[in-house]
Chains A and B, each alone.
Chain A
């Protein structure tokens, strides 16, 4: 019989981490709330893009974190903060995916908005603005978070921690906050 699974041994460590994550998510929520004027009056359709942009960021970074963890554990990447060929390939791929997928989100959000509500600004203007915001926010948050992911993965491995256990949860939580902040910045620049 393998070791017993007690409820307490699952709850106790999970609870403190979850509470920390929840507090950071509250910060992301506060930025989101600050933007409400843009959603309700200034740029209808913008809100449609928020869940996909957040989800995309999590998926691209999660995969990056997972590949880096594997590569570090397998010895394919040296645990040093230098732009080796392997790290460059991983960063480039993440950024290319960020740009293409963010542009797709912009197009889809425009489509959803066109089908479901009467546009308050010109159709072309709305399309350009939504795509510009998605690509700018997707690229900027992608760049910041991909570099942070490399940093966290390499540093945790260098310290003797398994990057598989550290990188994904850390980046998932920081990711939402950084992405919402980048969307807000993009909105301020574009609208």
Chain B
């Protein structure tokens, strides 16, 4: 006898998926609004999957670690005096700093080889790095908030944190990238 039923899976998944679609449409709309900048510098498109992917991974790993620690009782859902929380935040920041430096360097090489002048290639890589660091800070805040709020509210954070972090991360990733490109003045 089948335990799973198509109807149940489809009906239960549908609201979450629709919410995810609406959140990520914001990211799509923002890309569409920057279409002139993208036509001028198509390498911006190449930056989007990596920044969203890395941001999502950093949030997912931190989320999985925090939710396990909450369940085990080594972490309490409050901000002060939490050594486990501080160490996890430090680790996520360090990982993000190293990864965004490395991928930023790869983007510099790509840009320069594809004929973009040296100064502009450097500022593109710098914009990617700054966007990555800003995204990490935002993702850490969203992850900790959603883990603590869901745990305090009696929900299992395992079911809540990762979908929230990845959907919000997609929008924030595109936002950070486009804002960093404007700030650096690429």
Contacts and interface: CB of A to CB of B under 8 A. Distances in A.
B87 A7 contact: yes
B63 to A, nearest CB: 12
Contacts, number: 210
A9 B98 CA distance: 15
B164 to A, nearest CB: 11
Interface residues of A, number: 68
B27 to A, nearest CB: 4
**Chain A interface SS verdict (over half):** helix
Contact of A112 (B28, B39, B88): B28
Interface in A90-118: 90, 92-93, 96-97, 100-101, 104-105, 108-109, 112-113, 116-117
A63 to B, nearest CB: 6
Nearest to B74: A2
A5 B5 CA distance: 41
B118 interface: no
Contact of B45 (A36, A52, A59, A63): A36
Contacts of B170: 51, 54-55
B31 A48 contact: yes
Between A21, A32, A47, A180, the greatest number of chain B beta carbons within 10 A of the residue's beta carbon is seen for A47
Range, interface on chain B: 35 or more
Interface stretch (A22-30, A121-129, A144-152): A22-30
Interface in B1-34: 2-6, 9-10, 13-14, 16-18, 20-25, 27-29, 31-33
Contact of B24 (A29, A40, A51, A86): A51
B54 interface: yes
Nearest to B166: A58
Interface of B: 2-6, 9-10, 13-14, 16-18, 20-25, 27-29, 31-33, 35, 38-39, 42-43, 45-50, 52-54, 56-58, 60-61, 65, 69, 72-74, 83-84, 87-88, 90-92, 94-95, 98-99, 102-103, 106, 162-163, 166-167, 170-171, 174
Q: Which 4 A-B pairs have the closest CB atoms?
A: A29-B46, A48-B28, A10-B91, A93-B9
Interface of A: 2, 5-7, 10-11, 14-15, 17-19, 21-22, 24-26, 28-30, 32-33, 35-36, 39-41, 44-45, 47-52, 54-56, 58-60, 62-63, 67, 71, 76, 85-86, 89-90, 92-93, 96-97, 100-101, 104-105, 108-109, 112-113, 116-117, 169, 172-173, 176, 180
